Amino acid sequence: MIGHLKKMAAEAGGAKIVFAYEASGLGFGLYDELTDAGITCHVLAPTKLERSPKHRRNKTDERDAEHLLQVLRNHVLAGSKLPAVWIPDRQTRDDRELVRAQRDATEKLTAIKTQIRCLLKRNPVCKEADLGAGWSNGYRRWLWRLSKGEAAGLGSGAQVALGSLLRQMNAIEGEISELDEEIAALSRSGRYAAAVREVKKLKGVGILTAMVFLTELGDLTRFSNRRKLAAFLGLVPCANESGECNDRKGHITRQGPGRVRSVLCQAVWSRIRNDPNAQAIYKALVGRNPKHKKIAVVAIMRRLAILMWHAGMRAGSPGRHAHEVSTATAA
């Protein structure tokens, strides 16, 4: 494809090649190849491309390509703004793979634990009273006894199923432990050590929360203010204004990386339990609207994200490109 594009450009008298495609979960490999070949490439956000209801009902690859071509022409010929995504450098992308692997494994572990609970409810089997709360060692030993028929309650088929789930759970817990060690080592590297140290000063924020935040956001300097940061994280309300109804707000947009919202939510509950200041803010917000406690949690999540952003900026954004860092240092 690159060879064909260059051949067409040569036939047109050395014309400049400008390429655009929609972002997907397959990363930025095509962007890297085109850029390395000297072709200007733009990766566009699918959610920010304006499409008519008719286009959404009759969506084909050919129509999508024509639409992207028109958007790109408007940008090149008329200077209109492109809905382009930010392209992280290759090191940031590689670091994301490690951190995302840990989050994916954690989600799988949660799913397996839910499967085990549902299996016990279907049979039904009640947990013994002296096993403690949560997934204690005593509870786990009891589950293994159930799977081997040493404790009453399950048929032979359910015993085999439970044993399979327990082995999967142990395997994934081992993977998570190894991934946690790798993430801890990455957090001590020169690229992240200063930023992680600053971010961890905030109560409720640990190594994993800090690394998810820093790798998913990448270059923190690309956010010029806290409002843009909150909008990127999807922690701002939707707006639905029409006519004289000019202040209608809905649920948060939930745009941007859901992984960051997930760890922020966990960190916020830790802050509410252990930080008197955060606890006071939470109680004040709940007092205004007792029926919607989630609004208070989201508000503190947004506040924590901004504090983490400032802390990372003070330490020097780890996701900045090398040429940007050298330019800033020279300045």
pLDDT digits (tens, 9 = 90+) for 136-151: 899 999 999 999 999 8
CA torsion, ordered 261, 266, 268, 270, to nearest 10 deg: -170
Q: Which residues of 136-148 are buried (b: 16+ CB within 10 A; e: fewer)?
A: eeeeeebbeebbe
Asked whether the predicted pLDDT for residue 4 surpasses 90, the reply is yes
Residue 12 CB neighbour total at 10 angstroms: 10
**Residue 136 phi, psi dihedral angles, 5° rounding:** -70, 170
pLDDT digits (tens, 9 = 90+) for 273-292: 998 988 999 999 999 988 88
Task: Give the separation between CA 13 and CA 8, rounded to whole angstroms.
Answer: 9
Q: Is the model more confident about 50 or about 38?
A: 38
Beta carbons of 71 and 135 less than 8 angstroms apart: no
Asked whether the predicted pLDDT for residue 327 surpasses 60, the reply is no
pTM for the whole thing?
Answer: 0.87
pLDDT digits (tens, 9 = 90+) for 291-307: 888 999 999 999 999 99
322 pLDDT tier (thresholds 50, 70, 90): very low
pLDDT digits (tens, 9 = 90+) for 202-251: 999 999 999 999 999 999 999 999 999 999 999 998 876 666 655 556 78
Predicted pLDDT at 320: 66
Task: Give the separation between CA 193 and CA 188, rounded to whole angstroms.
Answer: 5
Indicate the domain borders of the chain. Answer: 2-78, 90-187, 193-330
Predicted pLDDT at 247: 58
127 pLDDT tier (thresholds 50, 70, 90): confident
Identify which of 238, 229, 294 has the alpha carbon closest to the alpha carbon of residue 257: 229
Predicted pLDDT at 240: 66
User: Which DSSP symbol is given to 107?
Assistant: H
User: Which DSSP symbol is given to 304?
Assistant: H
Name the percent of the chain lying above pLDDT 90: 73
pLDDT digits (tens, 9 = 90+) for 79-109: 999 999 999 999 999 999 999 999 999 999 9
